[in-house]
Amino acid sequence: YLFSPQVKKTGIATVWLNGDIASVVFPLHYKDIIFPPLTAHHERITITKSGILDIRDALEDPMAKENHVSCNFLFVVSEDDLNWNSAYYAEQACNILKHGKTNYEVLRHPNTGYFLEVPYMPHYPSGVHAAVGQVVAFEGETKVHADAQVDTWRRVQEFFRLHLQFSSSTSHLKIFQY
């Protein structure tokens, strides 16, 4: 749904952190449109060596078919994300975008897990997943993950400065959260 014709005209710049290109678990409501969530395939859930669930490949593939997006994208990918296959979804989104367009970039962080948050937040290599109701693997190496959080925050700020115009009278941005 990332490239849905109903929502694609709302943004100028979008930062996408370890995301999917569709609604997951809960329906997405945008104005009078409701996008159903992806279907989970429980048979695709595996167990890591430490006995924690790996749910990365449990969701159906939400490939979009069209591309009329003019928004600029920064895709941030944790390459060791076991919550879902965010590297795959970023690759799919870029494949959709790349037909003659240069309005995207991908920031990849090897050996980092799912929760790539603002700098100095604790690293969670596993935790109870609200949708699954059990402990799942998020992965990532603690030091590498911490360094990636700092780098990501810097790059996100640079991306917004590049693509959003500010004036002295602009004191806030309109943020769309889905």
At residue 8, the pLDDT reads 47
CB 64 within 8 A of CB 97: no
Residue ranges in the chain whose pLDDT is less than 50: 1-8, 64-67, 170-171, 175-178
Token code pair at residue 32: 């009078």
CB 164 within 8 A of CB 13: yes
121-146 per-residue burial string, b: 16 or more CB within 10 A, e: under 16 = eebebbeebeebeeebbbbbbeebbb
Q: How much of the chain is in helix, strand and coil states, percent to nearest 5?
A: 20, 20, 60
CB contact set of 147 (below 8 Å; sequence gap of 6+)? none
At residue 72, the pLDDT reads 85
> What does DSSP assign to residue 37?
P
Q: What is the per-residue DSSP string for 116-163? A: --STTPPP-SEEE-TTTSSEEE----HHHHHHHHHHHHHHHHHHHHHH
CB 51 within 8 A of CB 29: no
At residue 150, the pLDDT reads 95
Q: What domains are defined for the chain?
A: 13-163 (3.40.50.1820)
At residue 63, the pLDDT reads 57
Global pTM reads 0.69
Phi-psi region of 144 (alpha: psi -120 to 50; beta: other; left: phi over 0): alpha
